[in-house]
Chains A and B, each alone.
Chain A
């Protein structure tokens, strides 16, 4: 058609394009460039280029242990979210109003509370003088301190990530024919078998997409490990913050950020491939 119509889409997507370039591509490019700059403790960022930031990070056991911890915490959080979230979504789907609305609100609740307030609440519960510790002392088991451990980070992450698992799974259950379970029962399946053989295979897509969100958000979480992990327990995002704000070694921080980004991207892309293959099989 005319030149005007072919340029219209460009014109219309211009604001979005500017936004994307300015907010995503530009900072990422600058970070990438920065990660190759050399650094001197006395002078600061140098104009010369080097790969040493990457070799430092990838050969330093300190950083590698942080990457490993990040991976471990994200994995455990994801698994716990599946174990808790899937049954919860199933129960939710069998509830009638008003209970369903009430419980949905309870589940989404954590997202409505500021992360600082939420973490502060957890430290009051989990600290050495917290409620759990006091209960343990009263039971004669001595004080327990969960705060500033990986367990504390995982507990707080699971708490806030659960809605991201429950909602896609719940949506998947809602889409199923309500006659499926009765049909399985009538054929002799117990309640448990009906769920395992009939319901679970069909909501696996929901579980996989929920896991993707939970894993991605957990692996890059910053505030929760920062507030509940204490000074010693670093995760990827908090160590990047350290390099930038305390060490002032911006190129090294940029290199860590880039490694985490690429690793996260690789894991999620591989996972996504798996989901798509599964979707093709289930949905045809």
Chain B
């Protein structure tokens, strides 16, 4: 049973369509990420759910009730803004307490719930500080506590981690997931960071140019991207153009195998292959031959650029036992299981390798 439903929700500014007929059903307790590049309409979608932007068409249903035209202060949703929007003239405790005051919660209960919320985000020591006396990560937590203390039916987060540095961002990802699972609030998070979306959500909704193009569990979005754009936006992908065969493609005189092959035989097609699905084998073996042109170390894995007859291929190699399969300038073979490769009909010119 869907808890929050968006029915062909649209927003137009003049003759520009920022959000184009988005349909989405979110179950109670679910953590959904809206993922897409900057300007694709994620914030606008979130603001329509929050009541901060008026939909041009479509409706929003919350728990069986239509809230499309309801004022934001009547919806009772928790919102965490990208800039956190903490009230600078109030202490942490006063910030968190504000929503309860608006709900006319009594003094004693208010204090108890504020303390609870601050304990949840591990900020109990900082109740009397002002926002300016906190670090970025701490402000982030105050914003989350302030949104959650009113026990909202839905928590909306707009790029909550984008203002944090890399290390803190990773920490807060896990923290956010922990908090969400502790309180069990239905959560929608907007992000342009695919890693963030994949790692902490139950479901990822990908948006392109105002349209929703895929909504699925993270592993499915990663392994079976619905569009070419998604395949290159999420994770690294080798896209090799060629002519479709029954099981694979034919490119630059080489036959590259794949089992997932919906394209019509003889038509132009693209074979997509994740870098981590390719194995480096001794020269002379495998499906494709090439020379290692560059090698990069990332700690947990290596990245190889291999020059082949079909162009440069990126290969990722896990750093499991410290052994190295190849050095720069060395000829190698590339191998993969045909189940890992996907062939799709070539619709438009795309860059062959996208990061």
Which residues in A have some Cβ–Cβ distance to B below 8 Å?
177, 179-180, 182-190, 193, 197-198, 201-202, 282, 284
**Beyond A185-B72, A186-B50, A187-B146, is A284–B132 a contact (Cβ under 8 Å)?**
yes
**With the chains together, A182 CA to B150 CA distance in Å?**
16
* Residue of B whose beta carbon sits closest to that of A191: B73
Pick from A177, A183, A189, A201: contact of B79, CB under 8 Å: A183
Interface size class of B (residues with CB under 8 A): 20 to 34
Q: What are 22 A-B pairs with beta-carbon distances under 8 A?
A: A179-B84, A180-B87, A182-B52, A182-B72, A183-B81, A183-B146, A184-B98, A185-B52, A185-B71, A185-B72, A186-B72, A186-B77, A186-B79, A187-B73, A187-B99, A188-B99, A188-B103, A188-B150, A189-B102, A198-B87, A201-B89, A202-B89
A179 near B72 (CB under 8 angstroms)? no
A189 to chain B, nearest CB (A): 5
User: B81, A182: Cβ atoms under 8 Å?
Assistant: yes
B65-77 Cβ-contact flags toward A at 8 Å (1 or 0): 0000001110111
The 6 closest A-B pairs by CB, nearest first: A179-B85, A188-B102, A187-B99, A183-B85, A179-B81, A185-B72
Bound-state CA distance A163–B103 (Å) is 38
CA–CA, A183 and B79, complex, Å: 7
Known: A183-B146, A186-B78, A187-B99. 20 other contacts (CB 8 A): A179-B81, A179-B85, A182-B72, A183-B85, A184-B98, A185-B71, A186-B73, A186-B79, A187-B73, A187-B98, A187-B150, A188-B76, A188-B102, A189-B73, A190-B73, A202-B88, A282-B88, A282-B89, A284-B130, A284-B133
Interface residues of A: mostly helix, strand, loop or mixed? helix
A contact residues around B73 at 8 Å (CB): 185-190
Query: Chain B residue with minimal CB distance to A284?
Result: B132
Q: Mostly helix, strand, loop or mixed at chain B's interface?
A: loop
Q: Which partner residue on chain B sits nearest A193 by CB separation?
A: B102
Task: Collect the chain B residues with CB atoms within 8 Å of residue A182's CB.
Answer: 50, 52, 72, 79, 81, 85
Interface residues of B in 266-300 (CB under 8 A from A): none
Which residues of B lie under 8 Å from residue A193 when comparing CB positions?
102
State the CA gap A201–B90 with chains docked (Å): 10
CB-based nearest A residue for B150: A187
Which A residues touch B50, using CB under 8 A? 182, 186
B83 x A179 contact (CB < 8 A): yes
Distance in angstroms between the alpha carbons of A202 and B76 in the assembled complex: 25
Give the distance to chain B from A81, nearest Cβ to Cβ, in Å: 23
CB nearest neighbor in A for B131: A284
Using a CB-CB cutoff of 8 Å, which residues 139-179 of chain B contact chain A?
Answer: 146-147, 150
Q: How many A-B residue pairs have CB under 8 A?
A: 64
Cα distance A183–B147 in the bound complex, in angstroms: 9
Q: In the complex the two chains form, is B52's CB within 8 Å of A177's CB?
A: no
Q: Does A177 contact B85, Cβ atoms closer than 8 Å? A: yes
Which of B81, B146, B147 neighbours the largest number of chain A CB atoms within 10 Å of its CB? B81
Residue of A whose beta carbon sits closest to that of B102: A188
Give complex CA distance A122, B102 in Å. Answer: 47
Complex alpha-carbon distance, A202 and B86, angstroms: 12
- How far, in angstroms, from A92 to B298 measured CA to CA in the complex? 52
- A180 to B, closest residue via Cβ: B85
Instruction: Tell me, in angstroms, the Cα distance from A268 to B65 when the chains sit together.
Output: 57
Cβ–Cβ < 8 Å partners of B81 in chain A? 179, 182-183
Bound complex: CA A198 to CA B82 (Å) = 18
B41 to chain A, nearest CB (A): 18
A197: chain B residues at CB < 8 Å are: 98
**Cα distance A42–B80 when bound, in Å?**
80
Contacts of B103 in A (CB 8 A): 188
Bound-complex Cα distance A269 to B186 (A): 55
Closest residue to B84 on the A side, CB-wise? A179
Q: Report how far A185 CA is from B72 CA in the complex, Å.
A: 6
- Residues in B whose Cβ lies below 8 Å from that of A190: 73
Determine the distance from Cα of A124 to Cα of B73 in the docked complex, in whole angstroms. 49
Expressed in whole angstroms, the Cα–Cα distance for A180 and B72 within the complex equals 13
Chain A residue contacts of B150, Cβ below 8 A: 187-188
Write out the residue numbers on chain B whose beta carbons fall within 8 Å of the beta carbon of A202: 88-89
- Indicate with 1 or 0, residue by residue over B98-129, a CB within 8 angstroms of chain A CB atoms: 11001100000000000000000000000000
**Whole-angstrom CA separation of A177 from B99 in the bound complex:** 19
Q: Contacts of B76 on A, CB cut-off 8 Å?
A: 188
CB distance from B114 to the nearest CB of A (A): 13
Question: How far, in angstroms, from A171 to B174 measured CA to CA in the complex?
Answer: 40
Within 8 A of A (CB), among B46-60: 50-52
Distance of A189 Cα from B79 Cα, bound (Å)? 13
Q: How long is the Cα–Cα vector from A189 to B76 in the complex, in angstroms?
A: 10
